[in-house]
Amino acid sequence: MQGTIDGFSYGLVTPVVAYLMACLGGALGLRCTTRSMLVAQSWRPGWLALGSAAIGSGIWTMHFIAMMGFTVAEAPIHYDRTTTYASLGVAVVMVGIGIFIVGYKGARGAALFTGGTITGLGVASMHYLGMAGMRLDGRLQYNTFTVAASVVIAMAAATAALWAAGQVRGFAWSVGASLVMGLAVSGMHYTGMAALSVHLHGTAASGTGESPAALLAPMLIGPLAFLCLAGVVVLFDPLVVMGRTHWPRVEQKPGVPARTPAEPAARRSTRRPMSTRGPQSR
């Protein structure tokens, strides 16, 4: 029996909120990626790791907020927690690999293509693993061509977002890149959902089981709290607060301790002022 699918049971509420969450995670993660290119080598892994976790949490949160609006009329839906949280881990790890490649090799050429491809595949893997955690009295089938299209969308848009993040052109540029990342995640999600059909084994009484929103909301608390924490870190970053978006990249020479761009000015301020002499009488 063919199931009756409704992906928008709350109207435009879930797609809009889901897109905004994907943009939030993208903005935080891509800003961290940009910031990592302006600091000494010792600080770079920390910023890249924070960016990876922010983007991974953002796309995972986006997916399951969108899934709050997904229903099958003839069958209640449940979610396996282990598989659901495993999809979060896959998203963070694969996005992290892509971001670390771009963060260390630069957003150009083979490094950009490799990083964007891996990041896009991370978005797609998270989506389909998350769908594998959905439990109902039936089986899911996908149209192969549409699934392939969803993966291509994710890879292309993720590559574009990482390229924009690598330009190091300030906070507004990173926000623009986050809109592209949000488009990648949302476009991939709804294209993938368009590929889905549900074949039921039987029917359940109408209204049985909890709503998807009631099932998924508790699982979203942790990632949402992390995104808020990451937002605080990025918000109070001196590079953003002071408005200095064009500090030069800090390069560390062999055998010379790394220093921040502010050090030279600080050192100049500690020098003794030169003595001034008045005009000498002749």
Residue type, 107: A
- In a domain, residue 279? The reply is no
- In a domain, residue 93? The reply is yes
pLDDT at 181: 79
Domain count, the chain: 1
CA-nearest of 137, 125, 8, 5 to 68 is 8
* pLDDT (tens digit per residue) in 244-253: 444 444 444 4
- In a domain, residue 278? The reply is no
- In a domain, residue 112? The reply is yes
Instruction: Detail the DSSP E strand segments found in 163-233.
Output: 196-200
Residue type, 162: L
- In a domain, residue 281? The reply is no
- In a domain, residue 148? The reply is yes
- In a domain, residue 277? The reply is no
Greater pLDDT, 235 or 84:
84
d(C-alpha 143, C-alpha 1), whole Å? 18
Supply the pTM of this predicted model: 0.79
* pLDDT (tens digit per residue) in 83-132: 999 999 999 999 999 989 988 888 888 999 999 999 999 989 999 999 99
Instruction: Say if CB 161 and CB 181 are below 8 A apart.
Output: yes
Q: Where in the sequence is the domain holding 148, given as residue range(s)? A: 5-270
Give, as one character, the DSSP assignment of residue 256: S
Query: Per-residue pLDDT averaged across 228-234, rounded?
Result: 87
Query: Per-residue pLDDT averaged across 6-15, rounded?
Result: 90
pLDDT at 97: 94
* Parallel/antiparallel/unpaired status of strands 5-6 and 71-72: antiparallel
- In a domain, residue 216? The reply is yes
d(C-alpha 4, C-alpha 75), whole Å? 9
CA-nearest of 20, 23, 19, 46 to 33 is 46
